[in-house]
A and B are shown apart, each in its own frame.
Chain A
């Protein structure tokens, strides 16, 4: 969180922002909804809902196909969203922007295309202990298929990456580093610049899982200098079923297709085919066009609020919520990294996280409970589950108070 221009802060109006998300006006069990599960999926503003509706009611046809007007308007909308994603990530070219279903598919693409063609027995893929399952299992599968080995760098009790151990695990055998930009379960912001620097010093490419980062931090793939960057639309106020893989053009150009079909080819004979140019070579079949349109609108929405302003607003909520929760007797925060996004994982003495989740829900407060698709991380802490409150641009100090009140209610029920 570097120095922010005062003007950006002045323009960020939390009351107005909240009003732009229609779902937040509803009640849950008769109580106003307090949505604190944005790390699982964020809600969508009118700007996204209307962009999708406009596309569906005025522009839809298949892309890259017919000469008729609708096909051209659909292609324009779809490729326009790609340009928005390029600008959002500051990629050099739209050839580096592949539309996928989400972060999971993006990582599977890299594992199956780059991994299958590059990895061999004796090679190593290096991840960390705090990864989401989607940045673990694709590597397990590709390592099993190629004979490569998956290694995980350990973390510290605060939930930070053990950088000394990480550096020791970077060896002559390491072929790829794949790490989260921000931990979904703990909120830890990883030192990704340093990770990329250390890996590149050994000519090792780096994939960043940006699922938790794009909505909460500025992401500039050129400044990061990463080789792959993956994120999902639905975690940045866009639709589900759409996401982006950024891949450095020189790498992407050398990668074989991973799925075959229409749209990824230029010509097909029975014996062989000529593949399409980048990025379409990696987009077989009719894509999620309206999803891409919604994602484009979501990224423009985030840009309109200002990413620095959102980060500053959420950081204020993180500090408030951390102080308020830490003061509750028997509550333990899990993940206390110095650099954190607005995610609070916690346990309460004598109360299982699922009971916390049910009681909070009865108060209208939506949080996530469970292992957060990060079971190796939970195992490190010796926990089967935690409760997790995660914040988005639409949350405010009142939401923090409602969270605290409902946690006091948990104490009342369980004594």
Chain B
């Protein structure tokens, strides 16, 4: 078990200075995420143009993995179409659970989350933002939970 694999410099950097932190008002979609086991909370607001996500902000509190994952996600999905976002989520999910990316695509900075796969207890920390984003894209009103 290698801590440096989990807490890579990119993760620590995005935890220290999260990108796209805050709230959009007005927003076209929003959702609240909650990991009841560790108390992590995450609020996502986003703007859409047709099928394309044009802007996104997140706020809340959580561990380094959950904050960095949300920050990295925000950079990766901005400007993308829904189907592209779905594809990236699939790739990230494969990465977090230690499987090969379905299409063998390059995940860019998101690849820094690869170390999480070695820490099963932390997979939920990294995936909370993605579940919350899905809910925001679906205009889901009820809070999503990792449980």
A359 touching B3 in the complex, CB below 8 Å, given contacts A352-B63, A414-B12, A414-B64: yes
- List of B residues within 8 angstroms of A29 by Cβ: 1
Within 8 A of A (CB), among B1-53: 1, 3, 6-7, 12, 37-41
Within 8 A of A (CB), among B57-99: 61-65
Residue of A nearest to B3 (CB): A362
- Beta-carbon contact of B1 and A385 below 8 Å: no
Bound Cα distance A378, B41 (Å): 14
Residue of B nearest to A354 (CB): B63
- Beta-carbon contact of A369 and B64 below 8 Å: no
A370 touching B38 in the complex, CB below 8 Å, given contacts A352-B63, A355-B65, A414-B12: yes
Q: Does A234 contact B (CB under 8 A)?
A: no
Within 8 A of B (CB), among A271-285: none
Within 8 A of A (CB), among B116-146: 119, 121-122, 125
- List of A residues within 8 angstroms of B37 by Cβ: 370
Q: Does A358 contact B (CB under 8 A)?
A: yes
Q: Does A413 contact B (CB under 8 A)?
A: yes
Bound Cα distance A415, B15 (Å): 12
- List of B residues within 8 angstroms of A388 by Cβ: none
A358 touching B39 in the complex, CB below 8 Å, given contacts A29-B1, A352-B64, A413-B7: no
- Beta-carbon contact of A354 and B7 below 8 Å: no
A370 touching B3 in the complex, CB below 8 Å, given contacts A354-B122, A355-B64, A355-B65: no
A378 touching B39 in the complex, CB below 8 Å, given contacts A29-B1, A354-B122, A358-B6: yes
**Residue from the list A355, A362, A370 in contact with B39, Cβ < 8 A:** A370
CB distance from A349 to the nearest CB of B (A): 13
Bound Cα distance A230, B32 (Å): 38
Q: Does A371 contact B (CB under 8 A)?
A: yes
- Beta-carbon contact of A369 and B38 below 8 Å: yes
- Beta-carbon contact of A354 and B3 below 8 Å: no
A354 touching B125 in the complex, CB below 8 Å, given contacts A413-B7, A414-B12: yes
- List of B residues within 8 angstroms of A359 by Cβ: 3, 7
Q: Map CB proximity to B onto A359-392 as digits: 1 under 8 Å, 0 otherwise.
A: 1001000000111000000100000110000000
- List of B residues within 8 angstroms of A355 by Cβ: 7, 63-65
> Total interface residues on B, using CB and 8 Å?
19
Bound Cα distance A362, B122 (Å): 13
Residue of B nearest to A356 (CB): B63
> Total interface residues on A, using CB and 8 Å?
18
- List of B residues within 8 angstroms of A358 by Cβ: 3, 6, 119, 121-122
A413 touching B3 in the complex, CB below 8 Å, given contacts A354-B38, A369-B38: yes
- Beta-carbon contact of B64 and A384 below 8 Å: no
Bound Cα distance A361, B2 (Å): 11
- Beta-carbon contact of B61 and A384 below 8 Å: yes
CB distance from B147 to the nearest CB of A (A): 13
Residue of A nearest to B61 (CB): A384
Residue of B nearest to A28 (CB): B1
Bound Cα distance A352, B64 (Å): 7
- List of B residues within 8 angstroms of A371 by Cβ: 39
Bound Cα distance A116, B123 (Å): 42
- List of B residues within 8 angstroms of A413 by Cβ: 3, 7, 12
* Residue contacts A-B, CB under 8 angstroms, 26 given: A351-B64, A352-B62, A352-B63, A353-B38, A354-B38, A354-B122, A355-B64, A355-B65, A358-B122, A359-B7, A362-B1, A362-B3, A369-B38, A370-B38, A370-B39, A378-B39, A384-B39, A384-B40, A384-B41, A384-B61, A385-B39, A413-B3, A413-B7, A414-B12, A414-B64, A415-B12
A interface residue numbers (CB < 8 A to B): 29, 351-355, 358-359, 362, 369-371, 378, 384-385, 413-415
Beyond A354-B125, A355-B63, A385-B38, 13 extra complex contacts between A and B, CB < 8 Å: A351-B64, A352-B61, A352-B62, A354-B38, A354-B63, A358-B6, A362-B1, A370-B37, A384-B38, A385-B39, A414-B7, A414-B12, A415-B12
